[in-house]
Amino acid sequence: MREQRPENVYLPKIAILDRVEEEIADVRTFYWHFEDPAEQEAFRRFLPGQFAQVSVFGAGEFPASLPPSPTEKDLFFTVRRVGSVTAALHQLVPGDKFGVRGPFGNGFPMNTYCGQNLLFVAGGIGLIPLRSCLNYALDNRHRYGKIQLFYGARGLKDLMYLGALREWEMSRGFECYLTVDRADDQWTGHVGVVGSLFKKPGVSVPVENTTAFVCGPPIMFRFVIRDLKMMGFHDTNIVSTLERYMKCGVGKCGHCCIGLAYVCVDGPVFTYEQIKRLGEDI
Amino acid sequence: MRARITAKADMLTLVDLLREEYEVVAPFYGRGRDTYFDTVTDANRHLVQIHIPNPYYPPKRYVFPQIERLLQIHLNDHPGIQPTYEAPRRALFGIRSCDTAGIDHLDRFYLGRDFKDTYYARHRQNLFLVNVVCTDPDLDIDDDCFCLCADTGPAARDHFDLQLMDLGDEFLVVAGSAKGEAFFAHPIFRKGTPAHLARRREILGNVRKRFKLATSWYWSTVRYITNEEVEDSTWEQIGNRCLECGGCSYMCPTCTCFTVTERKVGPADYERLRIWDACALGGFTRMAGGFNPRRAAHDRRNRRFFRKLAHYFIQRELSVACVGCGRCVEVCHGDIGMPNVVETVRRTTAESKRHA
> Do A201 and A96 lie in a common domain?
no
> Do B28 and B162 lie in a common domain?
yes
Residue in A closest to B227 by C-alpha: A279
Residue in B closest to A254 by C-alpha: B257
pLDDT score recorded for residue A6: 45
pTM of the model: 0.91
> Do B114 and B92 lie in a common domain?
yes
| Residue contact B78–A97, C-beta within 8 A | yes
Report how far residue B231's alpha carbon sits from residue B228's, in angstroms, rounded to the nearest whole number.
Answer: 8
Residue A193 in any domain: the answer is yes
pLDDT score recorded for residue B261: 94
Q: Supply the mean pLDDT for chain A.
A: 90
* Residue A120 backbone phi and psi in degrees, to 5: -100, 130
> Do A121 and A51 lie in a common domain?
no
> Do B22 and B136 lie in a common domain?
yes
> Do B199 and B227 lie in a common domain?
no
| pLDDT above 60: residue A104 | yes
Decide if B284 touches A, using CB distance below 8 A: yes
Residue B167 in any domain: the answer is yes
Among A11, A250, A251, the residue with its CB nearest the CB of B81 is A11
Rg, C-alpha atoms of chain A:
19
Q: What is the CATH number of the domain that holds A92?
A: 2.40.30.10
| Residue contact B124–A251, C-beta within 8 A | no
Residue B234 Cα, gap to closest chain A Cα (Å): 15
Among A4, A86, A257, the residue with its CB nearest the CB of B288 is A86
Domain boundary among B154, B183, B210: B210
Residue B75 in any domain: the answer is no
Mutate one of B69, B70, B71, B300 to test the A interface: name it (highest A CB count within 10 A).
B71
Question: Tens of pLDDT along A8-67?
Answer: 889 999 999 999 999 999 999 999 999 999 999 989 999 999 999 999 999 999 999 999
pLDDT score recorded for residue A138: 92
> What is the domain count for chain B?
2
Residue A30 corresponds to which amino acid?
A: F
> Do A99 and A122 lie in a common domain?
no
> Do A117 and A232 lie in a common domain?
yes
> Do A234 and A163 lie in a common domain?
yes
Q: How many CB pairs under 8 A join A and B?
A: 119
> Do A127 and A72 lie in a common domain?
no
Report how far residue B136's alpha carbon sits from residue B131's, in angstroms, rounded to the nearest whole number.
Answer: 15
| pLDDT above 90: residue A69 | yes
Q: Supply the mean pLDDT for chain B.
A: 91
What is the residue range of A61's domain?
Answer: 13-104
> Do A50 and A117 lie in a common domain?
no
For residues A30-49, b (16+ Cβ closer than 10 Å) or e, as one string? bbbbbeeeeeeeebeebbbb
> What is the domain count for chain A?
2
Question: What are the residues of chain A with a beta carbon less than 8 Å away from any beta carbon of chain B?
Answer: 1, 3-12, 14, 57-62, 80, 82-83, 85-86, 97, 99, 218, 243-245, 247-248, 250-255, 257-260, 279-282
pLDDT score recorded for residue B142: 85
Q: What is the DSSP letter of A249?
A: S
For residues A230-253, b (16+ Cβ closer than 10 Å) or e, as one string? ebebeeebbbbbbbbbbbbbbbbb
Q: Give the orientation angle of helix A162-172 with respect to helix A127-139, to 10 degrees.
A: 20
Question: Tens of pLDDT along A259-279?
Answer: 889 999 998 999 999 998 887
Residue B234 in any domain: the answer is yes
What is the residue range of B344's domain?
Answer: 218-255+283-355
> Do A143 and A79 lie in a common domain?
no
Confidence band for A135, pLDDT divided at 50, 70 and 90: very high
> Do A152 and A73 lie in a common domain?
no
Between A189 and A100, whose confidence is greater?
A: A100
Across B276-298, average pLDDT: 89
Q: Give 3-state DSSP helix, strand, coil % of chain A, rounded to 5.
A: 30, 30, 40
| pLDDT above 80: residue B214 | no
Residue A36 in any domain: the answer is yes
Q: Specify whether the CB–CB gap between B345 and B310 falls below 8 A.
A: no
pLDDT above 70 covers a percentage of chain A that reads: 98
> Do B245 and B178 lie in a common domain?
no
Rg, C-alpha atoms of chain B:
22
Neighbouring residues of B94: CB distance < 8 A, sequence distance ≥ 6:
B26, B27, B48, B49, B50, B52, B130, B132, B164
> Do B140 and B224 lie in a common domain?
no
Across B55-78, average pLDDT: 92
| Residue contact A60–B313, C-beta within 8 A | no
Across B281-298, average pLDDT: 88
Q: Specify whether the CB–CB gap between B75 and A96 falls below 8 A.
A: no
- Distances in Å between the Cα of B183 and the Cα atoms of A40, A157, B132, B217, B249 are 51, 74, 16, 39, 36
Residue B271 in any domain: the answer is no
Chain B residues whose CB is inside 8 A of the A257 CB are 303, 307
Decide if B289 touches A, using CB distance below 8 A: yes
Q: What is the CATH number of the domain that holds A157?
A: 3.40.50.80
Q: How many helices (H) and strands (E) does chain B have?
A: 13, 11
Confidence band for A169, pLDDT divided at 50, 70 and 90: confident
Among A12, A218, A279, the residue with its CB nearest the CB of B228 is A279
Residue B140 in any domain: the answer is yes
> Do A33 and A126 lie in a common domain?
no
Confidence band for A218, pLDDT divided at 50, 70 and 90: confident
Across B244-260, average pLDDT: 94
For residues B293-329, b (16+ Cβ closer than 10 Å) or e, as one string? bbeebbbbbbbbbbbbbbeebbeebebbbbbbbbbbb
Decide if B139 touches A, using CB distance below 8 A: no
Chain A residues whose CB is inside 8 A of the B115 CB are 9, 250-252
- Distances in Å between the Cα of B317 and the Cα atoms of A112, B27, B105, B109 are 31, 29, 7, 6
| pLDDT above 60: residue A5 | no
Chain A residues whose CB is inside 8 A of the B259 CB are 247, 253, 255
> Do A221 and A124 lie in a common domain?
yes
Domain boundary among B156, B175, B210: B210
> Do B33 and B102 lie in a common domain?
yes
Question: H/E/C letters for each residue in B18-62?
Answer: HHHHCEEEEEEECCCCCEEEEECCCCCHHHCCCCCCCCCCCHHHH
Q: Specify whether the CB–CB gap between B217 and B346 falls below 8 A.
A: yes
| Residue contact A6–B279, C-beta within 8 A | no
> Do B204 and B225 lie in a common domain?
no
Nearest-10 Cα torsion for A110, A113, A114, A118: -110
Among A7, A245, A257, the residue with its CB nearest the CB of B286 is A245
| Residue contact B256–A248, C-beta within 8 A | no
Residue B270 Cα, gap to closest chain A Cα (Å): 6
Report how far residue B356's alpha carbon sits from residue B354's, in angstroms, rounded to the nearest whole number.
Answer: 6
Mutate one of B256, B258, B314 to test the A interface: name it (highest A CB count within 10 A).
B258
Domain boundary among B210, B237, B267: B210
3 state SS of B334:
coil
Residue B8 in any domain: the answer is yes
| Residue contact B270–A218, C-beta within 8 A | no
Question: Tens of pLDDT along B122-166?
Answer: 999 999 999 999 999 888 888 888 888 888 989 999 999 999 999
> Do B231 and B340 lie in a common domain?
yes
Residue B73 in any domain: the answer is no
* Residue A140 backbone phi and psi in degrees, to 5: -120, 50
pLDDT score recorded for residue A2: 38
> Do B227 and B331 lie in a common domain?
yes
Residue A249 in any domain: the answer is no
| Residue contact A252–B73, C-beta within 8 A | no
Residue A101 Cα, gap to closest chain B Cα (Å): 13
Helices (H), chain B: 11-21, 97-111, 118-125, 147-150, 178-181, 194-207, 218-226, 232-239, 247-251, 297-309, 311-317, 327-331, 338-355
Across A155-172, average pLDDT: 87
Count of CB atoms situated within 10 Å of the CB of A158:
18
**What ipTM was assigned to the predicted interfaces of this complex?**
0.88
Among B83, B274, B302, the residue with its CB nearest the CB of A8 is B83
Confidence band for B184, pLDDT divided at 50, 70 and 90: very high
> Do B111 and B32 lie in a common domain?
yes
Chain B residues whose CB is inside 8 A of the A97 CB are 78-79
Half-sphere exposure of A270 (CA within 13 A, CB side): 20
Torsion sign (Cα): B10, B13, B17, B18: positive
Report how far residue A139's alpha carbon sits from residue B262's, in angstroms, rounded to the nearest whole number.
Answer: 40
> Do A122 and A194 lie in a common domain?
yes
Decide if B288 touches A, using CB distance below 8 A: yes
Q: Specify whether the CB–CB gap between B175 and B119 falls below 8 A.
A: no
Considering only residues 34 to 93 of chain B, which have any Cβ-Cβ distance to chain A shorter than 8 Å? 70-71, 73, 75, 78-79, 81, 83
Decide if B270 touches A, using CB distance below 8 A: yes
**Strand order, beta sheet including A269-271:** A190-191, A175-180, A147-153, A117-123, A210-215, A238-241, A269-271
| pLDDT above 50: residue A3 | no
| Residue contact A57–B110, C-beta within 8 A | no
Confidence band for A92, pLDDT divided at 50, 70 and 90: very high
Decide if B258 touches A, using CB distance below 8 A: yes
**Residue B118, phi-psi category: left (phi > 0), alpha (psi -120 to 50), beta (remainder):** alpha
> Do B88 and B172 lie in a common domain?
yes
Mutate one of B104, B109, B272, B273 to test the A interface: name it (highest A CB count within 10 A).
B272
